Structure 1
């Protein structure tokens, strides 16, 4: 069975970004993100894609409402542009895939994902992008892994 996992770095106050960018720099969390997502497709919004670009070893599924959006690519980039979350889910059907942001995509995918992989960041920065509330009625914490400067917490969807 394939899994769809939202992976995010989330501050104590729920902030995941400001002005289309991250508001902290924790190299060990970036390494965790790279190791975890390597070889798997990643679903993201256009702004998130434009911020991170095409990442080697991973297919980027970019969701945009703009019918004329064409990403700036270089040779070898593995990028697919779609116009809805449903189209993105069709692109990754049968594969273990990750939802990597931003806030609108996390919110739209919340009912579709089977797991949450949250790097809890012990900060309370100002920001305009927030991760959706993790409702304990729907999610149970299955693992907590303290790291240097953050904690990786895994949640699994509760059975209905």
Structure 2
């Protein structure tokens, strides 16, 4: 049986910011299209605050596991888990059942911090700006993750900033 990969998808500013006041501090239509393409059909793992920031309803075409110590979510397409480890176990089980090879960790800050040790790949949109914010992404350790692909993306008509899309793979032990 092929192992299911754990993939982090994140957009992060030059100063490490990923969020401000429960939302993203930019508008990046181009990146949202990439996010949809990368995550479609795959189980998504996210924290409760991130789920609330996307409107407290599941994104279409992707089962959701929401990590929350207190809240249980009773809606179609959404499960809750008390820990990241429990969420990842459930997500991988869903992935096997539906025949997909990856589960996606999609935020927020605390979930990303916990998930880095489990991640096989990082899909990082480096937003080419410095912004104020209250949620950050941890530094990517080049001793742990190697950059395997990088593409500069000019700002589209509905984007605030240009970006650099990068894929990092966990180095072999």
TM-score bucket of the superposed structures, by smaller chain: over 0.9
Give the gaps of 5 or more residues in structure 1. Answer: none
Per-residue deviation at 1:60? 0.8
Query: Structure 2 CA distance, aligned partners of 1:61 and 1:155?
Result: 24
* 3-state DSSP of counterpart to 2:58: coil
Q: For 1:137, which of 123, 143, 164 is the aligned residue?
A: 143
Alignment of 1:50-129 (within 5 A): 50-52=52-54, 53-66=57-70, 69-71=71-73, 73=75, 77-93=76-92, 95=95, 96-129=102-135
Query: Structure 2 CA distance, aligned partners of 1:72 and 1:133?
Result: 35
Between 5-14 and 148-157, report the one with greater CA deviation: 148-157
* 3-state DSSP of counterpart to 1:7: strand
Per-residue deviation at 1:71? 3.6
Query: Structure 2 CA distance, aligned partners of 1:126 and 1:27?
Result: 20
Q: What is the match of residue 166 of structure 2?
A: 153
* Count of equivalent residues: 155
Per-residue deviation at 1:154? 0.2
Per-residue deviation at 1:65? 1.1
Query: Structure 2 CA distance, aligned partners of 1:2 and 1:30?
Result: 24
* 3-state DSSP of counterpart to 1:92: helix
Q: 2:73–2:79: 8 Å Cα contact kept in structure 1?
A: no
Query: Structure 1 CA distance, aligned partners of 2:151 and 2:4?
Result: 23
Query: Structure 1 CA distance, aligned partners of 2:130 and 2:112?
Result: 20
**Pairing 1:6–2:19 present:** no
Query: Structure 2 CA distance, aligned partners of 1:139 and 1:70?
Result: 34
Query: Structure 2 CA distance, aligned partners of 1:16 and 1:107?
Result: 12
